[in-house]
Structure 1
Amino acid sequence: MSDSCPDPAGSVGGFLCRAGQHLRAAAIENPRLEARLLLSTAMGVETTALLRDSRAPVPPEAARRFAEMLKRRLAHEPMGFVLGHQGFWTLDLAVSPATLIPRADSEAIVEAALQGPAPARVLDLGTGTGCLLLAVLSEHPAAFGIGVDLSPEAAALAAANARRNGLEERATFLAGSWAESLLGGFDLVLSNPPYIESAVIPGLMPEVALHEPARALDGGADGLDAYRLIVADLPRLLRPQGRAVLELGQGQAPAVSALARAVGLEVLGTHADLGGVDRALILRHP
């Protein structure tokens, strides 16, 4: 790769320019933005600080950290894992390979949940980082919530995220298989279950297929395995007039709605994400 960077190799501008070239060559989207995020994290400064003097030297220790982070990103490790955290809703959440990285699309589930009455008790099935539960609790200061994940590492991470965001007194997290150990009585049930068809997963972008946990992605042959289990349990878990908001894959609303109606739940509608995809299915216990 030819070096067309105007700033010296050891400077802020030099690091950003050369890193951007490498990221672009690796087919990373937004290479300049990602280079700034990596360097600002390595230096422990805000990204705006990098713009003040492009010829300022990068300290050796920061340069070493930056090189390690850049190597991981060039191997298509997700940016959230490289940085160690991810923004979601109004929260900053720690992430790890034990969980999916929270995505902006999933904020549609929070938006849909907030359209209904304020819940007192909230359940989040397959909680991962805790993003859905913690976002809803942050908007309902009188609510209490339980998050469940099959992975003990994920449940521990979600508990840490509750502490990180000052919500630990109103949230508890358990390791278990869906709601098997819970009795019910919830006003609101949230879930972002695995919903990708098994055969599709190897063809996903490498950040997802190679680095995020398969158990949190794989929804079985038709993508509906987890929905069958969750929806069948909702009448037991929900109070009368209680609601459930489930994240959907593209085009899954009709099939999951049919599962819900088959167990006597009302389908209140769907809520689209910013891309216009029906991302949240809203159900109610009649």
Structure 2
Amino acid sequence: MSLDKYKQINLTFAYQMSSIIKESINIDYEYYTKGFVLEIIEKNKLLLVKFSKFTILHFYIEKEIWNKLNYETSHYMKEHECEIAIEKLYNIVDLYNPLFYKEIDVFDLLEQENQEDSEESYLNLCNSIIDILYQEIEKYMPNMVEDVFYVLFQDREFLLEFNLMLSNIISEIKYEDESEIMRKDGVLKRCSYFPKWLKEGIFFRDKGRCQKCNTNLTGTITMGTNYNWDHIVPLSLGGINDATNIQLLCEKCNKIKSDKEIYTSNKYFRFW
């Protein structure tokens, strides 16, 4: 499914899922984090050293959405409350496809089956409906992930915590095991090429201002102020080459910030 650059966002789902993901970062189960990073290395290790529009955070968001759906569905099915499981899945589908009810009226089907057939037949119908709803959710998953990413990518404080979580595992990777992405000193290889889409996206998110000293870098108010793209968590501390780990700094602040300093800002301008 194609994603429009200018699109409507489902804020209800985006904020709810963002809160869940923030909690998962705070809990920070090492075994889960390590499994997540190792899965990335196994599937596409170049995501760690080459900037991609499908960021590590996109990957994490999708994983967390499926984890939430699978956990809730499994929980309600075990409690013999399949109607609640179906209702929760249906509500998500309805957010992204309000006309789905015209394709299949799941609640009407459940009511008819509950009145006419055995418990086993009813349970089989519930499982079939859940499969249909899962297929519909999978169809709209890119939009769901992008909506949640839109909320989280603007929260640099969260991005710092997210990248710190990853850095704990990245720092343990040895050159001997992953020479394609690691330097001999145990640091991820640096991506020297910053694509245009990345520069424009970071500049837009950071409102054209240095995230350290707040200098206006747009060139509309002051002239001759150079700016740099900075890793929030430095590569030397386990940082990665990912859009979620990049921020805008003026040249002066970037030179002052050492490769041992982790810093970002969540300051913003009030509307009035």
Q: TM-score, normalised by structure 1?
A: 0.20
Q: TM-score, normalised by structure 2?
A: 0.21
- Which structure has the larger Rg over C-alpha atoms? 2
Structure with the higher fraction of residues in helix conformation: 2
Structure with the higher fraction of residues in strand conformation: 1
